[in-house]
Chain A
Amino acid sequence: MERCDTDMMMERPLGLFRAGGRVEPSLVLASGVALVVVLPILFVMVSIFADTRDIWGHLRENLLAGLLFNTAVLSAGVLALTALFGVWAAYLTALCEFPGRRFFSWALLLPLSIPTYVMAFVYTGLLDYSGPVATFLRQHVPTVAPFMPPIRSTGGVILVLALALYPYVFLLAAGGFASQGERVLEASRSMGLSRRRLFFRVMLPMARPFIFGGLILVLMETLADFGAVAVFNYDTFTTAIYKAWFGFFSIDAASQLASLLVVMALGVLTAEGWSRRRMRYFRGRDGRRAKRIPLSRRQALGAHLFLGGLFSVAFVIPMIQLFAWVGEAWREEWHLGYGELLGNSLALAGAGAFLTLSAALILAFAGRKLTGRFMAILSRISLLGYALPGTVLAVGMVRVLTGIDHMATGLFAVLGVAISGPFLQGTVWVMPVAYMVRFLSVGFNAVSSSLGRVSPSMDEAARTLGVSGFSLVRKIHLPLIQGGMVTGAILVFIDIMKEMPLTLMTRPFGWDTLAVKIFELTSEGEWERAAIPAVALVVAGLIPVGILVWQKERTNR
């Protein structure tokens, strides 16, 4: 006993809690993750100063003003519409009571499973001049037909994006309304506020940070959107980047456009941080949630019309149309090698989810072990990727890889080995890394929220019982965060399956996935054929929405 004690004192003079000059391995790993994320962003930013006079000049003269105008109009329109749909729906389902309220409170989240580009081609196909609606009108009520507004218009893109993106505002605003404690509302009513004034003077202002948070997510998605605007031939920065690269073959011009988009994205990100800080103060403190206001018959009818209409247009009609097309195209298409597309999609998503989750675990455990400014900055940097549009990230990754390839070629030349062609760029191995950068925050949030439930005193309790190090992780941490890890992996997996521009621009030539196939088919206007991979993605996308609904129902019960 005596000997054993002194031995342990020699080996472990400082215990576990002091790094004592030793290099902390979790810090090294976390720094590695942050470096992988920040390099593509830096490479894109540096290209602002690159010299590409002829192409850049051409872009600036002919395109830039138009791109900025298009982006501004699109963003403003989508924000206004999503705010209208999202806030109204959230108010009705979170603060009012009427038959069917529970159904709408989760059903209105379902459109989240439809990627914007699927929503876009469904409505283009449905409402186009040659589509079923316009054809029907021309044949049966020819007087009305000319007055049908064209879907391929600015209004059309805005409407389609708003239908796909309003659930973000709905989700956050509903959470904001639901968290308003009963006490505050009772206090306001005791001071004599009518219901209308209660909404505008108390409820809406208190939910404002949440609504703002939802709108910021919408803005991020709008700026990042590639697939939907491509279907509409509506030029924004993302499509311009794609065209500069694959049309003009100028990666420099593409990165210069991308650098402008990075600046916008970072601006949005700053606004988001601000709104999150504000949300914390606005959360109700007393536990009881507000009593819902019962609606009168007429009011309930109005609520049904609005919510039912929104749900049909954003989910039911697109789903019916998709399945109708699948029914038509199924017979000729099913032998055409969708197995390979699906296989590629699943393999990429699997590898990407694995890598992303590993990085998320590194960050979460490092953040638990090390508290301090440096670690806080590291994790903030590592989670930047979700604000970056896929097109920008693709450009950045390619630039980083070109740099590494150059260095590698130089190194091999010194060693007397000549290698031809790129060595990393354009290989499949790079793609999971790109996905990791983009979706790390999704995986991290799931893992770290479950790890947060393991209190520091649980670690200490295990140590007083003689359990430490790896067996502590195995016996306490892993069993408790398993659920979070599975959720995180599923969310990342499906996000990767749906990701279009990043896959399109980093894949090796001919390496198609479901999302890439949809891009190719829709750019040729083949809606029926595109519906088959689209249905696969939407069905997969229902899984994370299901998880979200389950979590929401559990907290709002």
Chain B
Amino acid sequence: MMYLNVKAITKHFGATCVAQGVGFSLARGEIGALLGPSGCGKTTLLRMIAGFEEPDSGSIHLQSRPLWEAGQGLAAEARQIGMVFQDYALFPHLTVWENIAFGMKDVSRREIKSTIDELLSVTGLAGVEKRYPHELSGGQQQRVALSRAIAPKPRCLLMDEPFSNLDVTLRESLSAEVREIIKRFGITALMVTHNQHEAFAMADRIGVMMAGNILQWDTPEGLYHKPETLSVARFIGEGSLLAGTLTSEGTLDCGLGAFSVAENIGREAVQKVHVFVRPEAVQIATSGKQAVARLEKSCFRGPGRSCLFQLPSGEWVRAAAETRCCLREGDAYGLSVSRDGVSLFSEHEEERFAGFSE
């Protein structure tokens, strides 16, 4: 059995449903992330694990012991789960040291001191332990909140949008740092975020959540390269959506040309499908027999250039190009596609066709 198990959680606030039979699990020492737009129910799910909200049905187990089962559960204060809040919720009347020591009970004075000293040095807070929260920068406050949650050696760590109050540059450096700290202490953690870069930087497993459902629970690579639904494909990263047809022999025909698909799909003769293409799978050539498209917009991005082409069919294709190559807006170029950057989805069910790539 996995370390943290969430099964078939359903939760309503009045008439709105914020979780419809949601489930996932984390192995010991893994970091998970719930990723989704605001209002998708991810924070509520986190708060149900912490014990601040009660599920209508379903169960939550930690270390094979129930936190919530059959309509009954442990109180939040008895769950031994650490939490980092979006606003950090530091106690303004206590110093950094006192904040971190707040949850350490039944522990010898020596152990408190050694734990806090270690945390302070790992988080780079050494020297500020006598200050009050309002005397610290945002990044420092965030690290105090993390240290306070870790200090009592919780069974699990929860983080609610931990970086949303920081500016963008700090966010990236700090998320890598926080991941390192959590891994160093071997803590199983779950975070909630609406920012996929944060989720990618922090998590071993990510659940994409929309309208009270986890659409896919997977590794970051799995989410990007093998999205299981069109919604996940659209939400993670960038890409273009084309209409295509798939013959029973396994040939895909779309605006970027005709390919043969590796596996035979034994259904009706000809099917209409959605073709989802990642920008980096599109190659641009100045000439050739590939599909010809006109460059409408080209946008310099530093490491690369983002190009928007229009196909003769009127469909739009986004492609990534090198910065140094000179492309002129309004000119026609040949496009080809590498197959492992393409996902197919059936037109009606939005579900992925198995085994296209590889």
Contacts and interface: CB of A to CB of B under 8 A. Distances in A.
Interface string B89-117: 11111000000001101000000000000
Interface string A8-26: 1100111111100000000
A474 to B, nearest CB: 12
Nearest to B85: A457
Contact of B65 (A2, A464, A480): A2
Interface stretch (B70-78, B202-210, B236-244, B319-327): B70-78
Interface of B is mostly: loop
Contacts of B93: 479-480
Contacts of A18: 54
A2 B74 CA distance: 12
Nearest to B101: A465
A62 to B, nearest CB: 61
B76 A460 contact: yes
A9 B65 CA distance: 12
Interface string B274-300: 000000000000000000000000000
Contacts of B92: 453, 480
B52 A17 contact: yes
B89 A467 contact: no
A5 interface: yes
A556 B206 CA distance: 47
Contact of B75 (A2, A15, A453, A462): A15
Nearest to B151: A465
A466 B74 CA distance: 12
B139 to A, nearest CB: 19
A557 to B, nearest CB: 16
B85 A466 contact: no
Nearest to B105: A466
A306 B83 CA distance: 59
A194 interface: no
B41 interface: no
B81 interface: yes
B329 interface: no
A5 B103 CA distance: 19
Interface in A48-107: none
B75 A5 contact: no
Given A5-B74, A12-B75, A466 B89 contact: no
A9 B77 contact: no
B76 A5 contact: no
Interface string B147-170: 011001010001000000000000
A537 B73 CA distance: 58
B51 interface: yes
B45 interface: no
Contact of A455 (B54, B87, B105, B158): B87
Nearest to B160: A457
Interface in B15-56: 50-52, 54
Nearest to A456: B89
A15 B79 CA distance: 11
Contacts of A479: 93
Nearest to A18: B54
B140 interface: no
A443 to B, nearest CB: 22
A480 B89 CA distance: 13
B80 interface: yes
B198 to A, nearest CB: 20
A462 B102 contact: yes
B89 A460 contact: yes
Contacts of B105: 466
A467 B94 CA distance: 15
| A2, A5, A466: residue with the most chain B Cβ atoms closer than 10 Å | A466
Contact of B76 (A13, A464, A475, A480): A464
A194 to B, nearest CB: 42
Given A8-B75, A455-B89, A458-B91, A465 B152 contact: yes
B75 A460 contact: no
Nearest to A459: B89
A15 B89 contact: no
A466 B91 contact: no
B75 A457 contact: no
Contacts of B77: 463-468
Contacts of B90: 461
B78 A464 contact: no
A487 B152 CA distance: 36
B51 A15 contact: yes
Contacts of A460: 50, 52, 76, 83, 85, 89
12 contacts: A5-B78, A9-B73, A12-B75, A16-B75, A463-B76, A464-B81, A464-B158, A466-B77, A467-B103, A468-B76, A468-B77, A479-B93
Given A15-B73, A460-B85, 9 more contacts: A18-B54, A460-B52, A463-B77, A464-B77, A464-B154, A465-B148, A466-B78, A468-B75, A468-B77
Interface of B: 50-52, 54, 65-66, 72-83, 85-87, 89-93, 102-103, 105, 148-149, 152, 154, 158
